[in-house]
Chain A
Amino acid sequence: MKLFEHEAKTILATYGIPTPTGGLAKKARQVREIAAELKAPFAIKAQVLVAGRGKAGGILFADSVQDAEKAAERLLNMRIKGIPVRSVWIEEKIRTKKELYLGVTIDRANRSHVAIASAVGGIEIEEIAKEAPEKVVKFLVNPQHGFHSFHAHQMARKIGYSGTQLLSLGKIFESLYRAGMDYDAELIEMNPIAETFDGKFVAADVRIIIDDNALFRHQQYKKRLLEGESELTPQELSAIKNDLAYVKLDGDIGVIGNGAGLVMATLDTIQYYGGKPANFLDVGGGATSEKIATALGIVLSDPNVKALFINILGGITRCDEVARGILKAREEVGVAKPVVIRLVGTNEEEGKRILTEAGMHVLESMEEAAQEVVEMSQQVGEG
């Protein structure tokens, strides 16, 4: 789960990390009140979760309270990569001498957390690592020993700092690691962290992504995701609430299956035969008929879907439950679009019987079914 910049900055401030003084506003008028308490010039930043916010014009600067209000007005009427801006964060603009990078993330191959520091910041760390690898320093953290002040000092020295600056940067880094662990962050980064002209450091932009699997330890954010402000579409929200894995894609063939790998392979097979999948939807293992019906409801509510492919290979999922779920969806939400069903595995015979008696056609081969659904989607397109 991605946190908004204002959430991330608020967290870091509680760890004693210097962040610019500022406040959150949903209306331009509020910006005026907040700005009146701050020192000009100001930075006004759209609170959206999409990457590339700055380039898309989502960060504006102002020298007066009046201009700050105007800037906020503009941002609040904007969409960034299709996402409407619902709130802005206004803060004192930092006078930056140099931009750096500090972050902690997961190193999958080494099965550990990795602390990363760079003498260059402000652009994606992957880009920095590619263009100037000598400027990037990494340290694999042993969870039993943790990330200590001396580790942070070693890294601060390697990106060019000494004396009191080494101490203050080290302290910030150590706190960042601690915040990352406390909040189960799969990514926590200050990009950039600014070095000011008086030699201090301030977290100019902060990103935190909380590990979805650890959200049960962070109920406050889980609640915000499910009930409050989020950038989820109604389909995505319904999927999360019903424990379904759903990803919207840009094609016209709806896909439902069980198991992430199988569904991915189903999308690939559709593409192989010249079709375009409209979504990824994994119902997981052991889905009940209710869950199957919910899944159908989600996929069919996408107006781009012309035909539907249900691909089930039952292990702990039972084919008869799936069949009942399909019929349930037909009764409850109506299934007007053509459907191709591939159903094999546990209780296959019963599942097939239920669907065949209801006048639905069931196939055994995934590839045959994929070809059929691609043809159907093309016929619908022509008609």
Chain B
Amino acid sequence: MGIIIDKNTHAIVQGITGTQGRFHTKLMLEYGTKIVAGVTPGKGGARIQDIPVYDTIEAALEKHPADASIIFVPAPFAAEAALEALENGIKIIIVITEHIPIKDAVNVMTYAKQANATIIGPNTPGIITPGECKLGIMPVHIFNPGEIGMVSRSGTLTYEIAASLTKSNLGQSTCIGLGGDPITGLNFIDALKMFKKDTKTKAVVLIGEIGGNLEELTAEYIAKQRYPKPVVAFIAGRSAPAGKRMGHAGAIIMGKAGTAKSKIEALRSAGVKIAEKPSDVARLLSRLVDV
């Protein structure tokens, strides 16, 4: 179980012949992910890690049915790759690529909405359902199968918190990185809706950060729905100044909007338990869930 991907997921790697694509295909295969084909225009006929490479998604799908695609294509061409996957009917697309222009991302998201497809990212470490499937670049030893759903706007901070959960015997159902860009596909609310239906997930961890108002909207959703599972949140950027981009393109306080304080207050008043430090997440969860 878990959400979006599991042991039955069959995936294509777009940009499989690049350094990152090649390296992470190997690691994903070692984890047991079912990678069925790779795509790099102009490199059709090659093999990477014994996986056949095609020039187009269309050609790959003729031989290998797939439900997901993971994109390692360089930023100037990544949106094009996502559109190709969408147009060929792929419904789960993970965009690892960083530095995709906003205008391109907006185009992809509009198309994805019409196609009823899920985009994770861009600028994401990906998604992992521990013990079943990994479509991403995260180190695997810090995860363990279990009952905690995680959804995050950050990469390494997710690793930090996942590692401390695993150490405290709190395994994970599925962990999703939403991506650090201003325009991303899947958001906190989408993930919460899926975790709600997932019988394996007993509690959810949200890892937010400054910028935008997704955490505030999520707080509204949790309060309105009387969300049935315990939620613990950590928000990064309490000490961040206004008007500065803190590493992620999306992590910026504009005027008075997007502060950590506003997000923390909104979530807290919706009944979400707030962790003051990353290590507090495991402590708070232990009190809320039987392990």
Question: Is there a chain A Cβ closer than 8 Å to B205's Cβ?
Answer: no
Tell me whether B213 and A261 are in contact (CB under 8 A).
no
Q: Which of B6-14, B29-37, B151-159, B266-274 is the interface stretch?
A: B151-159
CA distance A316 to B248 in the complex (A): 17
B240-A264 in contact (CB<8A)? yes
Q: Which residues of A contact B49 (CB under 8 A)?
A: none
Q: Are A265 and B110 in contact (CB under 8 A)?
A: no
Interface residues of A in 160-196 (CB under 8 A from B): 181, 184, 186
Count B-side interface residues using an 8 Å CB cutoff.
65
A367, B240: Cβ atoms closer than 8 Å = no
Highest count of chain A CB atoms <10 Å: which of B160, B182, B256: B160
Report the nearest B residue to A283, measured CB to CB: B247
A345 — nearest CB in chain B belongs to which residue?
Answer: B139
Structural contact, A313 and B103, CB atoms closer than 8 A = no
A269-290 interface code vs B (CB 8 A; 1 in, 0 out): 1111000010010100100000
- Take A143-B106, A213-B99 as given contacts and tell me if A315 and B155 are in contact as well, using a CB distance cutoff of 8 Å: yes
Quick check: B182 and A108 within 8 Å, CB to CB? yes
Contacts of B239 in A (CB 8 A): 249, 264, 267-268, 270-271, 277
B125 to chain A, nearest CB (A): 7
Question: Given the known A-B contacts A109-B212, A264-B210, are A126 and B257 also in contact in the complex, defined by CB atoms under 8 Å?
Answer: yes
A106 pairs with B102, CB closer than 8 A: yes
Bound-state Cα–Cα, A269 to B139, Å? 24
Q: How many interface residues does chain A have, given as a range? A: 35 or more
A186 touches B240 (CB 8 A): no
Point out the residues of chain B lying under 8 angstroms from A345, CB to CB: 139, 159
In contact, B251 and A316 (Cβ under 8 angstroms) = no
B246 at the A interface (CB under 8 A):
yes
Inter-chain contact B255/A124, CB cutoff 8 Å: yes
**What separation, in Å, do the CA atoms of A249 and B240 have in the docked complex?**
9
Q: Which of B239-278 contact A (CB under 8 A)?
A: 239-241, 243-251, 254-257, 260, 276-278
A258–B214 CA distance with the chains assembled, in angstroms: 24
Shortest distance from the beta carbon of B244 to any chain A beta carbon, whole Å: 5
Residues of A within 8 A of B41 (CB): none
Question: Which of A108, A249, A314 contacts B139 (CB under 8 A)?
Answer: A314
Q: Does any Cβ of A come within 8 Å of B209's Cβ?
A: yes
Given contacts A213-B249, A280-B246, A111 and B236 within 8 Å (CB-CB):
no
A interface residue numbers (CB < 8 A to B): 51, 106, 108-109, 111-113, 124, 126, 142-144, 181, 184, 186, 211-214, 216-217, 245, 247, 249, 257-265, 267-272, 277, 280, 282, 285, 313-316, 344-346, 365-367
Q: List 18 A-B contacts (CB under 8 A).
A: A108-B212, A111-B105, A143-B106, A144-B111, A211-B101, A249-B239, A259-B157, A260-B180, A262-B154, A262-B157, A263-B246, A264-B239, A265-B234, A268-B260, A268-B277, A280-B240, A344-B163, A366-B279
B interface residue numbers (CB < 8 A to A): 75-76, 99-103, 105-107, 109-111, 125, 137-139, 152-160, 163, 180, 182-185, 207, 209-214, 217, 234, 236-241, 243-251, 254-257, 260, 276-279
